């Protein structure tokens, strides 16, 4: 089950379109990884994500996506568990879509896949895990391509 809350002003996409997009992307990412489970997604603004980033990561600036896994890496064989929460800044998503020259839908799909993979234990920030980073980014592109979101 995918629970989506929208706590930010949407400009380029309707709430109904956003819910459908995020649900489709989460389901595709879970299916790709042969996993199942529940995920909470919050669409927030830069102010809200900056507060979360400062509180949980000690970084006092906005970011595009944050993931809050509920299961440690050794427990991912659990079926239908609550996997965790993802927070996405709609402000960052809009800015990055413009910066990269693609649609807001593609950027939101990317950020959602990225967040889901983090919930499933993938990490690209550990300096000693270059192979894991490459694996995560490859999986992101496979999932996005399967949904028709090519670079």
Q: What is the pLDDT, as a whole number, of residue 77?
A: 60
Q: HSE on the CB side for 23, CA within 13 Å? A: 11
Which of 4-18, 83-97, 107-121, 124-138 is predicted with the least confidence, judged by mean pLDDT? Answer: 124-138
pLDDT digits (tens, 9 = 90+) for 21-36: 999 999 999 999 999 9
State the pairing for strand pair 37-44/65-69: unpaired
Q: How confident is the model at residue 135 (pLDDT cuts 50, 70, 90)?
A: confident
C-alpha 141/C-alpha 148 separation (Å) is 10
Cα(49)–Cα(45) distance, integer angstroms = 6
pLDDT of res. 79 = 63
Mean pLDDT over each residue of the chain, to the nearest integer: 90
Shortest CA distance to 148 belongs to which of 93, 99, 97, 106?
106
Name the percent of the chain lying above pLDDT 90: 77
Q: What is the pLDDT of residues 56-81, one digit of tens each?
A: 999 999 999 999 998 765 455 656 68
Per-residue pLDDT at 151 = 72
Name residue 43's beta-bridge partners.
6, 88
* 129 confidence band (pLDDT: 50, 70, 90): low
CATH topology of domain 2-146: Collagenase (Catalytic Domain) (3.40.390)
Please determine, for residue 145, whether its predicted confidence score (pLDDT) is greater than 70.
yes
Domain boundaries, the chain: 2-146
124 burial via Cβ count (<10 Å: 0-12, 13-18, 19+): middle
CA distance 56 to 114: 18
């Amino acid at each position: 089950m995918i629970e989506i809350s929208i706590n930010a002003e949407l400009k380029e996409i309707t709430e109904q379109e956003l819910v459908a997009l995020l649900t489709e992307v989460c389901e595709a990412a879970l299916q790709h990884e042969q996993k199942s489970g529940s995920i909470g997604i919050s669409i927030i603004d830069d102010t809200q994500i900056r507060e979360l980033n400062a509180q949980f990561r000690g970084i006092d600036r906005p970011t595009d996506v944050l993931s809050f896994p509920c299961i440690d890496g050794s427990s991912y064989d659990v079926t239908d568990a609550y996997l965790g929460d993802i927070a996405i800044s709609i402000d960052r998503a809009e800015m990055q879509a413009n910066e990269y020259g693609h649609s807001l839908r593609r950027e939101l799909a990317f950020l959602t896949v990225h967040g889901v993979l983090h919930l499933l234990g993938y990490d690209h920030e550990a300096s000693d895990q270059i192979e894991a980073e490459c694996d995560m980014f490859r999986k992101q592109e496979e999932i996005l391509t399967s949904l028709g979101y090519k670079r």
